[in-house]
Amino acid sequence: MNTPQHHGRVAFVTGAASGIGRQVAHQLAVDEGARVYVADRDAAGAAEAAAEIRAAGGQAQEVVVELEATGTLLHSMAELTAAFGPPDILVNNAGVVKTIPAADYPLDHWNTSFAVNVTAPMLLIQHALQHMQRQGWGRIVNIASISGVRAGTGRLAYGTSKAALIAMTKQFAIEVAESGVTVNAIAPGPIDTPMVRSVQGSGHQASYADMIPMRRFGSPADIADSVMFLASEQAGYITGHTLAVDGGFLASGVLVRNLFQAPAAAAA
Ligand SMILES: NC(=O)c1ccc[n+]([C@@H]2O[C@H](COP(=O)([O-])OP(=O)(O)OC[C@H]3O[C@@H](n4cnc5c(N)ncnc54)[C@H](O)[C@@H]3O)[C@@H](O)[C@H]2O)c1
């Protein structure tokens, strides 16, 4: 195991009650020694995730945050950080997705997608930067998606909002680049979490996996490990970058299975 890097630091992880965010919060606290805000609108899930971290020897505080409430988010953040300390590491992980045909996409879900996937991260970054720039160190990691790079069926609001999150990552990164704060994004491919199971249903998983060169879904730990790297000292010269963690999906074009296998082996 690595030496913990983040003793004495505070990390704020959104969507930390479930899936990827839960694993990120766990690794930041238990493996890297940070004091972690487990932030989610799911109060019971956040409490359970924070308790799990504490049981494993880490420090965690659950906080209930509704990211759709963008009008009051900064006020809630100010209250929280007064009590627990301002974040040195911010992971904008929470996200929402609904697959609906583009021609019929309802405005209310478009607005929700942009509130949670773009506006809330923007406000949280602005809030975190006040402290990070003052101290001359900070790490911000935005969890985007391969859907922000390539289109996916039914993902009008999801893909467009994740593309905006990737663009926003670059905008912030260059403006704060001299201050010791890095801003990066991760574009996960399909990761086995409650979100992906609800969107795809079990019937689609095999055909989706077939489009991935590694032919399998990733795990929350695959993404959390990449967050640990981008939050580390070793990643101090990386900023404005979007790291695909996707089993080769974005690299892939024409993908022909078994092309170079002997006919007998391919048929077997
Ligand atoms: N799972 C995948 O295949 C995949 C692929 C690419 C990108 N991502 C991205 O990774 C991130 C995490 O996804 P996941 O698969 O772990 O999802 P998940 O559904 O398991 O967890 C998402 C968490 O975010 C919380 N959340 C949602 N809306 C919220 C709101 N308005 N306010 C506060 N909390 C809210 C939920 O309560 C939940 O705990 C998302 O941004 C998602 O878009 C996931």
Helix (H) or strand (E) holding 122: helix 120-135
94 in ligand 1 pocket by Cβ < 6 Å?
yes
190, two tokens: 């399909």
Judge residue 117's burial from the number of C-beta atoms within 10 Å of its C-beta, 0-12 exposed, 13-18 middle, 19 or more buried.
buried
Cα 95 to ligand 1 centroid, rounded to whole Å:
4
CA pair distance 9, 265, nearest whole angstrom: 54
Q: Is the pTM of this model over 0.75?
A: yes
What is the tens place of the pLDDT at every residue in 192-235? 998 887 776 666 788 889 999 999 999 999 999 999 999 999 99
Cα 232 to ligand 1 centroid, rounded to whole Å: 23
| Residue among 37, 105, 158, 237 flagged as catalytic | 158
Domain definitions of the chain by residue range: 10-267
β pairing state of 138-143 and 59-64: unpaired
Phi, psi of 218 (to 5 degrees): -85, 175
SS3 (DSSP) at 87: coil
Is residue 158 annotated as a catalytic residue, yes or no?
A: yes
CATH of 10-267, one of 3.30.70.20, 3.40.50.140, 3.20.20.70, 3.40.50.720: 3.40.50.720
- pLDDT of 205 reads 81
Query: How far, in Å, CA of 171 to CA of 173, rounded?
Result: 6
pLDDT tens digit string along 43-75? Answer: 999 999 999 999 999 999 999 999 999 999 999
Substitution candidate for ligand 1 out of 26, 40, 48, 211 with most atoms within 8 A of CB: 40
Question: Is 197's C-beta closer than 6 angstroms to any atom of ligand 1?
Answer: no
